[in-house]
Structures are given as structure tokens and as C-alpha cells.
Amino acid sequence: MHYVPISATRRSRYQSRLAVRLLPRRYIVSFIFANLIMQFGPVAPQAARQFMASAFHGAALLIIAFFLYRLASWLIAPLYTRLKQITIAFYRVLLAGEQTAAVGDFATNVIDTPRLRKPFLRLVEFLFSLSIWVTFISLIQPLATVLMWLIGFKLIDAELFDLAAVESTVEMMKLSVWWAGIVFLILFGWAQWNYWRYGRLERRKHRPAVTPVDLAVHYQTSLAAVHQAQTVKAAIVEVEDGQPRFSQIALKVGRRAGAIAVLALMLALPDQALAKTAAITLQQIGYEQDITVTGAKTAVTFSFPAPRLNLLPGSMASLTVEPGPFLNDQSNFTIYINDRAAAFYSAGQLRKKPAIQLPLTQDMLQSGSLRVAIAANLFATNDLCADYERGHLFYIIRNQSGVIYNYNPVIPKTVPEFFAGLTSGLLVVIPDQPTLAEITAGSWAYAQLQKQYPYLPVKLILAGERGNYPEVPRVWVALHNNLPANLTGYTQGIHLPFADLVLITAQDEGNLYNLSRQLGRTDWLQAANSANISVSLPAAAAAKERDKVFFGNNGPQEGILSIPVDFTLYPALLAEAPRSITIHLEGRYSPANISGKQVRLDVYFNRALIHSEALDGSGKINKEISLPPSVPLKSKNALSIQFVYPEEAGYCQVKGTIRSAQIFQSSYFAGNARLPVDKLTWDNIGMLFNKKGAILISDNPSPDAIRAVGELVLYLNRQLPPGEYAYPLVAFLKDWQQWLKQDYLAVLGLAEAIPEELWQAFPLQRGKGYTLLNNEGQAVTYRYHPVVNTIVGQIGNWQGCPLLSITASSDASALAGAIRKLNEQQNLASNIFLVGGASQLLPFKIADAQPADESDAAWTGFLRTFWERIARLGQKYEQAVFWAAGILLVLMLIKHYLTSRR
């Protein structure tokens, strides 16, 4: 133990030296902790949450703190000792004449009696001490700022936003009402007593009443005239020979005139006074990004929903078109609405004002959809080929473009009119205690309607939750014995009891399923145009087993140097999920005019070049192209066919000359072999979804679990082409062995609810650890822990039956959100995905098929569980933790100060 001589004190006035230990390690740690709080105090709550969210981050910070501690021990301790020595030397200089050796005595009288020292020395000592204290206070100012910030923030939160503040306000209002009632009773009682005591006394002297005779004498008229004047309510007064004569006015005529006037005023009000507005943008119908159109002569068409509305002035198509910076101002754009030219613009005009607003009329909505097309002839210079190769020929359509309907609501009278007039949203309602049939039919209805109306917010709710949502149209799906009292009078069928309610009900499960399927058959609904559709229903059509799926264009595509023709292929339309496909192309094209050079055909499949060849110049195409094994097949595939023309001298100087190509509708694709179950991924499992399947859930599902079922059925439907729907049945997990003959099986719920035997069919098993690879090839260790809620999606198989599961480790309410994120993903070429605390969906592949050692998983799982519990406690008692840390830090500083004064 080392000692530094400083001065004598009253505590050691008989000994002339003071033993002060050099800075211990715990003070170094407190110094580092204080500085960390000073540096990161303003973001302390957020930093704490992030720190506690991950054990790995905590371990990394502990390692960094350890190295900082070692560095501080090496650097700060000698520096502190040196500062102490300088301080001692300074005191010795100030107390010259009373200097002692390292173990000598200071003059006790001078120390104990400051007035014996010279005033100048006392002043210098006071100023020096004051400067040191000011410096010290400035150093702890960030800590004080953090503490005050926390206190102020929590105080504001507690006073303004906490429920306790609301309760105190309500209590104060109650007391005010009670006090007002008491005051009212006092005043009312006092008034009644005064009335009872004095109100019946008559102390005023009244003049005698004026009689009709007095009036007749005063006005020099007859008693009959006075009586007539008193009884008539509305009259015309005429004076003849000095005598008034009254003519009665019929009040009925006046009332009728007033009613007519009010009615005329109501009819004269503008329609806009009761109008509503609905906006549908490109983003709402699936265009998540702005659209860039490239080419010299292009045409792009958008189809917007056209609800059944009474349009009013102010309805418009609102487009934002921004020409490329290199385009010539004379490049022209033509806007078509329902194949009719509506406006013409030049690139120069659009540069000045890119926003286009075109009025809409009632006749444009008759077809049920509104088609808006933009045809453009673009050029930058006289050399179109050079413009194209330099990338100068393009323009941008913002995805906020769309249509705005200003309308008066139409009261629907039939079921098709109800669905045709939807503009604000839709609720699919099932009973509070639904059966499996009602969950199944309700989720089908929800998925079909959300797929048909992607621009509308459709929700699947229970009947008791209706008060939590705004007043929007509703579709009620229930068996007849579960209907509310006001709907029990309706028999089996699809009914319109009220203008904002469609009822789907049946006596048994089979008919309820069949009725729910009809929501996807809009042609049948239109044919049965009624408010009560209870006729004999057509049987549910089974999925057509096709060996070939045809595709093609209705008309030719045009271009200059390149003509792209694009299609979306859905292998789910085939009889079985194929391992690969063969594409058969038939069509025609404009031959090249240059001798010795031919048109090149490039075929891209999911952006991968699968075929390229020079055509024979005949102007016709008849090819079969096989998909290479290296190119994976997905549920939705992008096929792009490009006709590339050689450059011809002088051709590109002729603006307006175009070439054309067309793929006939006799083109098709066919499947090759059957996709093995072990090759299924989240990208291609959608090829099974238009076949028979089932979703397994736990007994007594919660409202969150039911909503997750609806989201999963919506995900299945979005993997299929327009007009095709998935209809999986919903069953209980305990009966899973009865459903293994389905074409696919989905498991949804908590991981601990899945039977242990079924876990063996999945890549990741409960309670074990694995090494996973992400998209970048980085290894990630995964271990199942029930404490932290993690959503795991994986694909497996049970004896050849494809299985997909989406499970939560502790909280089923997060399942619906995770499935919505799955709906937003496009490239998931893996059979596993995880959704953790950051709510980000990440795909993985298994790098090591062997699970980690059980003993290792056990003790690391225990440590992680212990850490996660501490993290949750820290988050729950965040304010108490920071207060405790601040108090401990202040106590440590005070202890250090008192120790140094000994």
C-alpha cells in the first residue's frame, strides 16, 4: 500500500501525516462508468433497449469495457498519482516557511487557525479551490443533464400521458359534477323556500282589466270588430268609413308554401354538399415503385377499379409523368381513357407541369374498370439508334398517379351492387365462438375479397370486435344457428339484409363452403343479380388438370431496335407441380431489311438468359425452349421475349418508322417431371396451392390465431393467377394424421403446441440448435428458446406429404404480421425464414444437417434465458435502473471525495 503526504487534519492532529491509498481499481471502473453515462446519457433509454435486446451485444460491450478498464488502469492511475504530487507541491509552495518532509509535520496552528495565514494566501487558496470545484462540476454536468432529462421526460410523461393522470382528471371532473349538484340543490332549495314564503303574497296594486267594451269605445268601433280582431291569427285589415274590416288568411296555404320553399331549397343545394371522395393510386393496385418506361415508341396501360358510383364534377384521372432529361421537347405523349384519346402533351409541356388532370364522366365507369393508357413517341436527336443505346429514351410515371372519384353514394339493392360500390373498406365478420367451418369460410371470404380489392383495407374480425373498427360495409359469414337475432329470418344463401351488410349463411358446412366460394365467381354473382340469392347453387368446380397452359398477345408489340414481349407464367395451373417446363412459342415479327443480318431472339426467364438465336428471316417463329436445370422454377415466373434488330444505315434517322412482333395465343408451356418434395422452397411451394390442402391450428383458437389463418389463406391465394383461388380446410392439430393425404398441409400456431412426432418432419426441430446460412453465405447459429418470441417458417414433408409451418415460440399475436411480411417478399429461394425482434423477415438455409450438442444447447440456453429475463426486467423497470445507477455513481463519487479528504 502506497502513501502520499498531503496535510494534517483535525482527525489526525496528533499525527503529522495522512495515509491515502492510490486510486483503487473500483474507482477506475466507476470513472469509466461515469464517462460512459456522460457520453451516452441523452440516448440512454434507446441504448439500453438495444443492449438488452441481444446477449451478443452485451458480451461485446463487456469485453470492450474490460479492455477499457485495463487501459485505464495502465494510463489513468499514474496520471492521477502525478496530479496528486503536483497538488502537494503547489501546497508546499503556498505554505513556504511551514514546509515539511514527506513524513514531517505541517504547522498545526496555521492549519487549525486559518486566520493566522496571510489574506493573500487564503485568497489564492480559495480561488484555486473554487476553480477546481468549477472544473469538477463542469465534468459532471453531462451526467446531471442526463438525470434531469430523465426526470423531466418521465415527469411530463406521467403528468400528461399516463393513465394515472387521466384518472385524476376524471376524478376531478366527478368531484366538480358532485359539487355543482350540491350547489344546485342549495340554490334551488333557497329559491323554493323564498317562493313558498313570499311568492304567494300579493303586495302590488293592479289596474282593472281592459274589457272589449273599453276597446270599442276607445277605437270608436263595434264589439264585433273587436272580437274579430282578437280571434283572427292572420288577416288583411281594410278600413271602410273609419271602421276596420278583417279578412282571414288561410294558414294551410302558408304551411304548404313553406314546405315547398324548404323542398326547393334542398333541391337547389349542390350535389357536392353530400359528396364523398375516393382515391385509388398505382401504389394501391400493386405498383410499389415508380414506373420507368424505356423505348422510342412505347405504350403502357393501367387498369383501375371502377366502382358503381354516381360521379360528380371534380372526378379525374391524376397522372404525374416526368420526361427524361435528354428527350427532345417535341417528343409527344397521348393519354387514352378506355381506348379513347383524352389529351396530347409534348415533353416540353410536361417538363413545365408534369401533373396531368383529366376529367372523368359517368359513362367511363360502365365496364367495371377504367383503363388509362400512355402512348409515347420519344427521341432525343435525329439518330434514334444512338439515343436508344445511350439510354436517353425514357420517362417516369410516379406510383402516386391514380384516379380520384368524387361521387354520391349509391344505395345498393342487390348483392352484386353491394360489391360493385365498395370504396372505403370492408369487414368480414364471423361469430365470437366460431366453428371450424365458420373459420374456414370466413378466411376464404377474406382472402378472395382482399385479392379482388387490393386497394381496399379488408379485415377479418369477430362479431364482438366490431366496435373497434370504423363504420364500413360488412360481410357476415356464419352457420344459421350462430346468427344474431336480427338475422335469423334469412334462409340459406347470400342475402342483402341492409344496405351495408351482406349475409352468407347455410344450414351445414358443405353449403357454407360452397357459398363462400361464390365470392370469387363474379360472373355468377352478376348473373344472379338479386338481394336474396338462395337458388340452387352450382357445384364447386374442381381445379382443372391441364397438361398445357396457353398464353399470348391479343395484338402486336412495336419498337425500333428491340421489341420486348413479357408474360407471367403460373405453373400451378398444371396438373401437378413440375420440376421444369418446356415453352412453346408461336408468333410473327418484322424481318430485318439488311442483307446478311437477321433478327436475334433472346428469351429471359426470371431475368436469366435461357435462349438466344438468330431467326431465319421468314417473319414467323415456331420454337420449343426447355428451361435449363440451373434456372429455378417459381410460383410466379417472369418470361421476357425480346426481338433484337441489327442497326441499318439511315434507318434510325427516320422518326416514326417502327417494327412489330406478336406472340400468338397458341403458345403454351408444359411441365417436365414432378417436383420432388425435398426441392420445395418458399419461392415454388405456391405451385401446390390450387390443389387440396388443409391448415392445422390449436384447439380454442384466439382472435389473433384466426386472423393469422386469414392472412395465410391470403398468402396462398396471392401465389395463384388472377381468377384462381386456394380453398384450404381448417382443422385441429390433434387430428393431423387424418389430413396426410392432402396435396399440402400447413401448420400454424405456437411451436410448443405442435405434436413431437410431427416435429420430425421439419428441418428445424424444437429444442435443438443449428447452423444456418443467410443470403450472403454468412453462418448464423439458431437455437430454439421459448422465452424470446421468434417466428419460424419452414418447409418439410411427412412421408411424401408437403408440410409448411409458421410457428411462434411464445406469442401467437405476431403470426399475422409475419405472414403479411411473407406476402411482401418476392425472392425466398430457401425453405426456412425467421422473423425476430427487429420484425425483419430473413431467409436461411441449413448449413449443417446435424443439430448442435444437446449439453451445449442446454447450458447456453440456460444462460441466454437468464440474460433475457434480466433484459425484460431492465425494460420493465427502466426508470428505476437508471435512478439506481445514478445514485450509486453519486455515492461512489462522494465516498471517493471523503476518502481523499482524510
pLDDT, average across residues 542-564: 79
> Would residue 237 count as lying in a domain?
no
pLDDT, average across residues 339-364: 90
Least confident window among 233-237, 280-284, 377-381, 861-865 = 861-865
- pTM of the complete model beyond 0.75: no
- Summarised one tens digit per residue, pLDDT across range 592-636 is 877 778 899 999 999 899 999 999 888 899 999 999 988 999 999
419 pLDDT higher than 90: no
217 pLDDT higher than 50: yes
Phi, psi of 500 (to 5 degrees): -115, 20
* Under 8 Å between Cβ of 697 and 745: no
pLDDT at position 205 is 61
pLDDT at position 154 is 57
Least confident window among 57-61, 123-127, 325-329, 691-695 = 57-61
pLDDT band at 747 (very low <50, low <70, confident <90, very high): very high
% of the chain with per-residue pLDDT over 90: 24
CA atoms within 13 A on the CB side of 879: 10
Site of grid cell 500500500:
1
- Summarised one tens digit per residue, pLDDT across range 179-188 is 888 888 888 8
Least confident window among 213-222, 781-790, 813-822, 892-901 = 892-901
| 223-237, 804-818, 876-890, range with greatest mean pLDDT | 804-818
> Would residue 822 count as lying in a domain?
yes
Q: What is the DSSP string of 362-398?
A: GGGGTTSEEEEEEEEE--SSS-HHHHHHTT--EEEE-
Assess whether 669 and 685 both reside in one domain. Answer: no
Return d(Cα 561, Cα 85) in angstroms, integer. 86
pLDDT at position 63 is 60
Return d(Cα 86, Cα 89) in angstroms, integer. 5
Q: What is the DSSP string of 583-626?
A: EEEEEEEPPP-STT--PEEEEEETTEEEEEEE--SSSEEEEEEE
Return d(Cα 750, Cα 770) in angstroms, integer. 20
Assess whether 578 and 698 both reside in one domain. Answer: no
> Would residue 823 count as lying in a domain?
yes
C-alpha dihedral over 819, 820, 821, 823, to 10 degrees?
Answer: 90
* Under 8 Å between Cβ of 5 and 102: yes
pLDDT band at 155 (very low <50, low <70, confident <90, very high): low
pLDDT, average across residues 87-107: 50
Residue type, 165: A
Assess whether 647 and 705 both reside in one domain. Answer: no
Least confident window among 17-31, 672-686, 707-721 = 17-31
The count of structural domains within the chain is 5
Phi, psi of 558 (to 5 degrees): -120, 155
- Summarised one tens digit per residue, pLDDT across range 430-487 is 999 999 999 999 999 999 999 988 888 999 999 989 888 888 899 999 998 989 888 8
Of the candidates 539, 541, 472, 465, the residue with the CA atom closest to the CA atom of residue 502: 472
pLDDT band at 800 (very low <50, low <70, confident <90, very high): confident
How far is the CA of 726 from the CAs of 409, 696, 717, 783, 826, in angstroms?
A: 33, 15, 5, 34, 19
- Residues with Cβ < 8 Å from 625, sequence gap 6 or more? 582, 583, 584, 585, 603, 610, 611
Identify the domain boundary among 638, 673, 708.
673
> Would residue 630 count as lying in a domain?
yes
> Would residue 874 count as lying in a domain?
no
Assess whether 686 and 824 both reside in one domain. Answer: yes
46 pLDDT higher than 60: no
Q: If you average pLDDT over every residue of the chain, what do you get?
A: 76
Site of grid cell 432529361:
325
193 pLDDT higher than 60: yes
Q: What is the CATH number of the domain that holds 793?
A: 3.30.379.10
pLDDT band at 533 (very low <50, low <70, confident <90, very high): low
Which residues on adjacent β-strands are paired with residue 34? none
Return d(Cα 307, Cα 521) in angstroms, integer. 17
pLDDT at position 536 is 44
Return d(Cα 434, Cα 203) in angstroms, integer. 78
Return d(Cα 674, Cα 865) in angstroms, integer. 44
Identify the domain boundary among 651, 673, 695.
673
**Which residue would you say has higher pLDDT here, 851 or 301?**
301
The helix or strand, by DSSP H or E, that contains position 512, with its residue range, turns out to be: helix 509-517
Query: What is the sign of the dihedral through the CA atoms of 543, 546, 548 and 551?
Result: negative
pLDDT at position 174 is 80
15 pLDDT higher than 60: no
Assess whether 693 and 738 both reside in one domain. Answer: yes
Assess whether 717 and 669 both reside in one domain. Answer: no
Assess whether 345 and 441 both reside in one domain. Answer: no
pLDDT band at 50 (very low <50, low <70, confident <90, very high): very low
* Under 8 Å between Cβ of 394 and 293: yes
pLDDT band at 570 (very low <50, low <70, confident <90, very high): very high
> Would residue 445 count as lying in a domain?
yes
Q: What is the CATH number of the domain that holds 610?
A: 2.60.120.260
Return d(Cα 382, Cα 331) in angstroms, integer. 12
- Summarised one tens digit per residue, pLDDT across range 392-407 is 889 999 989 999 888 8
Of the candidates 34, 751, 753, 658, the residue with the CA atom closest to the CA atom of residue 297: 658
388 pLDDT higher than 70: yes
pLDDT at position 61 is 52
- Summarised one tens digit per residue, pLDDT across range 718-738 is 999 988 999 999 999 988 888
pLDDT at position 167 is 62
Least confident window among 39-43, 254-258, 326-330 = 39-43
Phi, psi of 362 (to 5 degrees): -65, -35
pLDDT at position 312 is 81
How far is the CA of 642 from the CAs of 114, 377, 580, 660, in angstroms?
A: 99, 20, 22, 11
Assess whether 642 and 762 both reside in one domain. Answer: no
Identify the domain boundary among 624, 639, 673.
673
Return d(Cα 584, Cα 670) in angstroms, integer. 8
- Summarised one tens digit per residue, pLDDT across range 748-770 is 988 888 888 888 888 887 767 77
Give ∠ CA 196-201-207 in degrees, rounded to 5: 140
CA atoms within 13 A on the CB side of 48: 20
The helix or strand, by DSSP H or E, that contains position 716, with its residue range, turns out to be: helix 703-718
Assess whether 755 and 625 both reside in one domain. Answer: no
Phi, psi of 346 (to 5 degrees): -100, 165
> Would residue 662 count as lying in a domain?
yes
Assess whether 601 and 669 both reside in one domain. Answer: yes
> Would residue 700 count as lying in a domain?
yes
- Summarised one tens digit per residue, pLDDT across range 877-897 is 667 776 777 777 777 777 666
Assess whether 694 and 817 both reside in one domain. Answer: yes
**Which residue would you say has higher pLDDT here, 88 or 262?**
88
Domain that holds residue 298: 276-408
| Cβ-count burial 874-894 (b if 16+ within 10 Å, e if not) | beeebeebbeeebeebeebbe
Assess whether 714 and 620 both reside in one domain. Answer: no
575 pLDDT higher than 80: yes
